[in-house]
Chain A
Amino acid sequence: MAAFLARRLAQGLAVVVLVATMVFFLIHTAPGDPFGASMENPGISESIRATWRHAYGLDRPLAEQYLRYMASVARGDLGFSFSQHLPVRDALASALPNTLLLMSIALAAAFAVGIAVAVIQVRQRGKFGDRLLGGVSIFLFSVPDFWLAMLVLTSLAYWVRWFPIGGSVDPGAYDTMGTAARIADRLYHLVLPALTLALLYFPVIARHQRAALLESISSDYITTARAKGVTERSIVTRHALRNALLPVVTILGVVFPALLTGAVFVEKIFGWPGMGLLIVNSIGSRDYPLLTAAVLLASTFVVLGSILSDVLYRWLDPRLHSDL
Chain B
Amino acid sequence: MISDTPLPRVDWIATQRKWLGSDRSAAFATVLLLAIALPCLLAPVFAPYDPSAQPDIIGLRSIAPSLLHPFGTDQSSRDILSRVIYGGRLSLTVAIVATLVSVTIGTVYGAVAGFLDGVGGTLLQRILDALLSIPRLLLLIAIFAAWNNAPLPVFILALGLTGWYGLARLVRGQVLALKAQDFVQSARALGATRSRILTRHILPNVVSQVVVAATLGIGHVIVLEAGLSYLGIGVHPPDASWGNIIQEGSDQIAAHWWISFFPGIAIVLTVMAFNVIGDALLRALQPRKSVIE
Contact = CB atoms under 8 A, between A and B. Distances in A.
Direct A–B touching, Cβ under 8 Å: yes
A22 B292 contact: no
A111 interface: no
A182 B243 CA distance: 37
Interface stretch (B64-72, B193-201, B250-258): B250-258
A22 B268 contact: no
Nearest to A260: B135
Interface in A260-285: 261, 264-265, 268, 279-280, 282-284
Given A31-B147, A142-B219, A288-B146, A283 B231 contact: yes
A134 B146 contact: no
Nearest to A215: B288
Nearest to A265: B227
Interface string B204-244: 00000000000000010001001100111100000000010
A30 B146 contact: yes
A296 B143 CA distance: 13
A14 B272 CA distance: 38
Nearest to A19: B130
B134 A299 contact: yes
B254 A286 contact: no
B272 A138 contact: yes
Interface in A13-34: 14-16, 18-19, 22-23, 26-27, 30-32
B92 interface: no
A70 B292 CA distance: 44
Contact of B141 (A147, A291, A303): A291
A89 interface: no
B252 to A, nearest CB: 11
Interface residues of A, number: 53
B38 interface: no
A291 B246 CA distance: 25
Given A261-B137, A295-B134, A142 B260 contact: no
A230 interface: no
A15 B233 CA distance: 28
B127 interface: yes
Given A18-B130, A261-B135, A302-B135, A295 B275 contact: no
Contacts, number: 139
A150 interface: yes
B14 interface: no
The secondary structure that dominates the B interface is helix
Interface size class of B (residues with CB under 8 A): 35 or more
A294 interface: yes
A291 B134 contact: no
A36 B267 CA distance: 36
B126 interface: yes
Contact of A282 (B145, B243, B272, B276): B145
B227 A146 contact: yes
B145 A286 contact: yes
B133 interface: yes
Interface string A134-155: 1001110111111100110010
Contacts of A298: 134-135, 138
Contacts of B253: 150, 154, 158
A154 B145 contact: no
A147 B259 CA distance: 12
A294 to B, nearest CB: 6
Interface in B103-129: 126-127, 129
Contacts of A189: none
B148 interface: yes
A316 interface: no
A298 to B, nearest CB: 5
A22 B250 CA distance: 35
Given A31-B150, A146-B230, 13 more contacts: A19-B134, A22-B130, A22-B134, A27-B146, A30-B146, A32-B148, A138-B275, A139-B272, A144-B264, A265-B230, A280-B231, A282-B145, A291-B141
Interface of B: 126-127, 129-135, 137-139, 141-143, 145-148, 150, 219, 223, 226-227, 230-233, 243, 246, 250, 253-254, 257, 260, 264, 267-268, 271-272, 275-276, 290-293
11 contacts: A19-B130, A22-B130, A30-B146, A31-B147, A143-B264, A143-B267, A146-B230, A151-B264, A158-B253, A261-B138, A283-B231
